[in-house]
Amino acid sequence: MSEDLHALQRRLAEFAAARDWQQYHTPKNLAAALSVEAAELVEIFQWLTPEESAAVMSHPGKAGRVEDEVADVLAYLLQFCEALGIDALTALAAKIERNESRFPAVRSARPDRAREGEEE
C-alpha cells in the first residue's frame, strides 16, 4: 500500500474541512454512509454466480465499480474511526486475537487415520 491509514485519514479530514463538511461527519451519519456504500458493493455481486464473482476483476467495467465502492467503504470507515478516536489497525489486531482464541484452528486428520468419531 502506498499510504498508511493515518495519512489517508488526514487527507480525508482535510478534504472534508476544505468543503466545510465536518458538520455532517457525525458517527451516526458516517455509519449510515458506510452501510450504504457497503450495500452498493454487494449490489455489484448480487446476481453473479460464485464463478462470475471470483472473475469480476477481469471485467474492466465491473472492476472499476468494485474498486470505487471499496474506496468509498474504506473512506467512510476511516472517517468513522477518526470521529470516534478508533485506531482501525489496533482494533483489527485485537479482534483477530479474540477470534483466534474463540475459534482455534482445526487440525486436519492424517489421511491414513480415521477422524474422531468415524469408524474405520
Cα-based distances in Å from 40 to 35, 73, 84, 111:
9, 9, 24, 44
According to DSSP H, which parts of 19-106 are helical?
A: 27-45, 50-54, 60-84, 88-102
Quote the pLDDT of residue 46.
96
- Residues in the chain, overall count: 120
Separation of first and last alpha carbons in the chain: 50
Residue 107 is predicted with a pLDDT of 78
Q: Which regions in the chain score pLDDT beneath 50?
A: 1, 120
Per-residue confidence (pLDDT) for residue 1, from 0 to 100? 43
DSSP string covering 21-37: -GGG--HHHHHHHHHHH
pTM for the predicted model, two decimal places? 0.82
What confidence tens digit (pLDDT) does each residue in 38-73 have?
A: 999 999 999 999 999 999 999 999 999 999 999 999
